Homo-oligomer: A and B are copies of this chain.
Amino acid sequence: MDTHTITIDTGGTRGTFDLTGEVTAFVAGKGDGLVSVFVPHATAGIAIIETGAGSDADLMDVIDAILPRRDDRYRHRHGSEGHGADHLLPALVSPSVTIPVIDGRPALGTWQSLLLVDPNADNPSRTVRLSFIAG
């Protein structure tokens, strides 16, 4: 299996980080198969949504509405305020997604981008593992 990790510089900022270019470069020339995009962190996930019209920022608002950042409601109270919420994100926005690859290109639709979703400002960078299985 062709697999390696990339490092995404999040600058310790909460938000989404576009991985589409990295995934596209990784599968270039590889033919047909499946690409697995996997985040080996417990407070981040992967989403496939549109960018450029505000939905990426809207997503962070919705996450905060679903997972309020008041620590008094969570048993998990390590880390910064809201870290209990961060630890629930991957149950709803999975850290693992698999995408078909056709002729060396991810089969994303015109308006789909592949985003790292990181609500946790405590880390300056994140690791993402890309793996390709030929089909």
Query: With A47-B90, A48-B90 known to touch, is A107 a contact of B40 (CB < 8 Å)?
Result: yes
Q: Check if A21 is an interface residue, CB within 8 A of chain B.
A: no
Interface flags for A41-65 (1: CB within 8 Å of B; 0: not) read: 1100001111001110111011000
Number of chain A interface residues as a range: 35 or more
B111 close to A42 (CB less than 8 A): yes
17 A–B contacts from the bound complex (CB under 8 Å): A2-B135, A3-B107, A3-B135, A34-B131, A38-B100, A40-B112, A42-B48, A42-B49, A49-B88, A49-B91, A66-B66, A90-B112, A92-B92, A96-B97, A98-B98, A107-B131, A132-B135
Residues of A within 8 A of B (CB): 1-3, 32-34, 36, 38-42, 47-50, 53-55, 57-59, 61-62, 66-67, 73-78, 84, 87-88, 90-100, 102, 107-112, 117, 127, 129, 131-135
